[in-house]
């Protein structure tokens, strides 16, 4: 139990940071970096960027949810969802 405690804190922090990181990556000014004019004959970079980041966010959320799920299932007292 004691060794899990820092782990749990870390997960909680990650779960809190994830949406803010996602918002920052998908909003100006960061998004402007990839919003340059497209060279003819290429897939616009911005399309690849947005869909790529989108997929990465989903993957991160998946890994996080799985780890949180494992912690919660191991500890029956937390099944009610208390922090």
Tokens coding 42 = 């290429």
Distance of closest approach, residue 66 Cβ to another protein, in angstroms = 9
Distance of closest approach, residue 6 Cβ to another protein, in angstroms = 18
CB-nearer residue toward another protein: 3 or 30: 30
Residues in contact with another protein by the rule CB under 8 A: 12, 15-16, 18-20, 22-23, 26-28, 31-32, 35-38, 40-44, 46-47, 50-51, 54-55, 57-58, 60-62, 64-65, 68-69, 72, 79, 81-83
Tokens coding 76 = 């029956």
Q: Is 27 helix (H, G, I), strand (E, B) or coil?
A: coil
User: Rounded CA gap, 34 and 45, in Å?
Assistant: 6
CB-CB contact of 36 with 45 (8 Å): yes
């Amino acid at each position: 139990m004691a060794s899990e405690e820092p782990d749990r804190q870390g997960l909680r922090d990650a779960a809190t940071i994830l949406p803010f990181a996602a918002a920052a990556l998908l909003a100006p000014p960061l998004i402007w970096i990839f919003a340059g004019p497209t060279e003819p004959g290429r897939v616009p970079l911005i399309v690849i960027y947005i869909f790529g980041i989108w997929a990465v966010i989903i993957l991160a959320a998946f890994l996080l949810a799985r780890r949180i799920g494992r912690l919660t299932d191991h500890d029956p007292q937390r099944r009610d969802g208390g922090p």
